[in-house]
Amino acid sequence: MLKVAEGWTIFLDRDGVINKRNFEGYIERIDQFSFLDGAEQAIVNFNKLFQYTFVVTNQQGVGKGIMTDRNLSELHGYMLEELKKCSANITKIYYSPDLKANPDNTRKPKPDMALKAQQEFGGVDFEKSVMVGDTDGDIAFGRNLGMTTVLIRSKEIVTEKADYEFDSLLEFSKNITKHA
């Protein structure tokens, strides 16, 4: 059971954590986006436990020209609207369009997206933050910043050791308590 207190932050990967991941390619359009079971309720639960709920996502499909920033913005707008219908809120979405091959990329596990969130929202303390993901890059991202890490198990082979492992975002959200 993870114990959090006032002022904690949660960072969520998108594909494979919030929505079904396309292991053969990218989620390019709204009709390809499908929430994982219980993800919306999990975010409602997180909103009661955490000061901020951020999404941090690598989106190299933009860098490859498979989709545009506008396509991605429309997709994220759809996700946020669907979440709003359930009274779930994402504070802000951060994404990296960079290619893995670019040595100056801002992709996870590099800290750029989290540092930007910290800069824009002064109350973000990484030692009071949780990173939830389904890949080695997600877990390394959280660990590199001193966050508590949570792995959502999938068919992805992960070698990084997370602090916690769960089968779904909803299951994880039911294993958090808030204390004074």
Query: At residue 130, what is the residue type?
Result: V
CA contacts within 13 A on the Cβ side of 99: 6
Query: At residue 99, what is the residue type?
Result: L
Considering 13, 98, 134, 138, which one is annotated as catalytic?
A: 13
Alpha-carbon gap, residue 38 to 168, rounded angstroms: 8
Distance from the Cα of residue 53 to its chain's centroid: 9
Instruction: For residue 13, indicate whether it is catalytic.
Output: yes
Give me the helices (H) in the chain, please. Answer: 39-49, 60-63, 69-85, 112-120, 136-144, 169-173
Q: Based on the number of CB atoms within 10 Å of its own CB, is 75 exposed (0-12), middle (13-18) or buried (19 or more)?
A: buried
Considering 15, 98, 134, 138, which one is annotated as catalytic?
A: 15
Q: Two tokens at 93?
A: 């979405």
Instruction: For residue 15, indicate whether it is catalytic.
Output: yes
Catalytic annotation, residues? 13, 15
